[in-house]
Amino acid sequence: MALDLSKARILLSNDDGINAPGLSVLERIARSLSDDVWVVAPETEQSAASHSLTLQLPLRLRQIEERRFAVDGRPTDCALLAINMLMRDRKPDLVLSGINFGRNICDDVTYSGTIAVAMEATLLGVPAIALSQAVDAAGYTDWATAEHWGADLVRRLVRASWPDTVLINVNFPACSAEAVTGVRVVPHGKRKIADDVCQRVDPRGRAYYWIGPLHESDEISPGCDLAVLLENGIAVTPLHLDLTHRATLEALTTALG
């Protein structure tokens, strides 16, 4: 992937919605890299939408200004409409997704709409990076951390390049920009989000349910994305779209003839 970012067409999207503060941060980062920046994001928050498509309802695009659109659908819808419809005359050279409110790490990546944008772009042949900003225990988000480190990190990643079946997942730690301990390339760890279900009763006596709260494990694998964030580092994880487990494939082939 030999890409001159100064001449690149960059597409931005997210799962927090068109008015999300993280998207504004990402837009400033992208505009420091290129003059050809497009924004196509959901009308409303679509967190945990995963890699879902809207198939049973029509989708509507709302143009806000030149090269800026809102979609009344999922994050994957946004990537698909942008790349195959709005930008079909010249597809983007790079897709940046985020900057997500909260980290996307460990097993959480399977739920993430932020990751889904990058996944869809990769499937459509466009290199993609998903970016997320961790939140501290009090719920405070220091967007300045991602903004300070983001542009240089994107430049470094693009120079390094990666295979066309891989997307890059970046997580910024919940600390000030000055407190960041560095960038580490690590695998994602094990951590299951929201495995509790809470049952409550509405005023009419009918049961309803909330998924959550967040489950935290006492065991953190050393050298994984979560461990890096807890050490105030920036975690970079390459995610592969080929989900086939090769060893089991070979074993089953032998067992089943």
pTM above 0.85, yes or no: yes
Question: Model confidence over 154-200: pLDDT tens digits?
Answer: 999 999 999 999 999 999 999 999 999 999 999 888 766 556 788 89
Question: What's the mean per-residue pLDDT of the chain?
Answer: 91
In a domain, 154, yes or no: yes
Return the CA Rg of the chain.
Answer: 19
SS3 220: coil
Tell me the mean pLDDT in the region 5-14. 95
Range of the domain at 75: 5-190+218-256
Q: What percent of the chain has pLDDT over 90?
A: 70
> What is the CATH number for 249?
3.40.1210.10
* Beta partners for residue 238, in sequence order: 168
In a domain, 206, yes or no: no
Number of compact structural domains in the chain: 1
Tell how strand 128-133 and strand 166-172 pair up: parallel
In a domain, 64, yes or no: yes
